[in-house]
Amino acid sequence: MGKIILDKMAMQRALTRITYEIVEKNKGVEDLVLIGIKTRGIFLANRIADRLQQLENVSIPVGELDITNYRDDIEHDAVSTDVKMSNNKINFSIEGKRVILVDDVLYTGRTVRAALSAVMDLGRPKSINLAVLVDRGHRELPIRADFVGKNIPSSQKEKIKVYVTEIDDKDAVELIK
């Protein structure tokens, strides 16, 4: 078993802080869209959107991004962009928008690299920022998060498990030795 690093209240506070930082950095929410990276990033993006609604009284579009076909650590047959994008639910244009990619854990950076490739296949946003609940270090690529809920130094032998009520029936972040 592991050690709980963030409980339900700490997760809520971290997401609220990220929300405020997003508003502050972007000087509001104009042209802002959120894209959650499947699976848990989608639920976190929806929670941030709910907080933005409460804070700014504006509904922010939220998309769902499946980066499986963009990963460089999984072998793929050559597939078209249409096939690569078929599992995504992004019902809005990102042209000229300020995109906030949302994920649960930032580790090597490979998931984010794949997400950036997928987003660029959708169009040309004005900017792309990254929000993560947990940054655990150990980057293999020059990628960093713009908004971080909690930095959790860990060894490569340890695992970080994020639980969200929507699929795990609880909110928590656990460090597993």
What was the pLDDT predicted at 82?
57
pLDDT tens track for 34-72: 999 999 999 999 999 999 999 999 999 999 999 988 887
Q: Of 110, 104, 113, nearest to 159 (Cα)? A: 104
Q: What predicted TM-score, i.e. pTM, was given to this entire model?
A: 0.94
Residue-level length of the chain:
177
CATH number at residue 151: 3.40.50.2020
Q: How many domains does the chain have?
A: 1
Give the Cα separation of 36 and 84 in Å (integer): 16
DSSP 8-state symbol, 90:
-
pLDDT tens track for 75-101: 656 555 555 566 789 999 999 999 999
Confidence of residue 157 (pLDDT cuts 50, 70, 90): very high
Q: Which residues span the domain enclosing 9?
A: 3-176
Residue type, 159: K
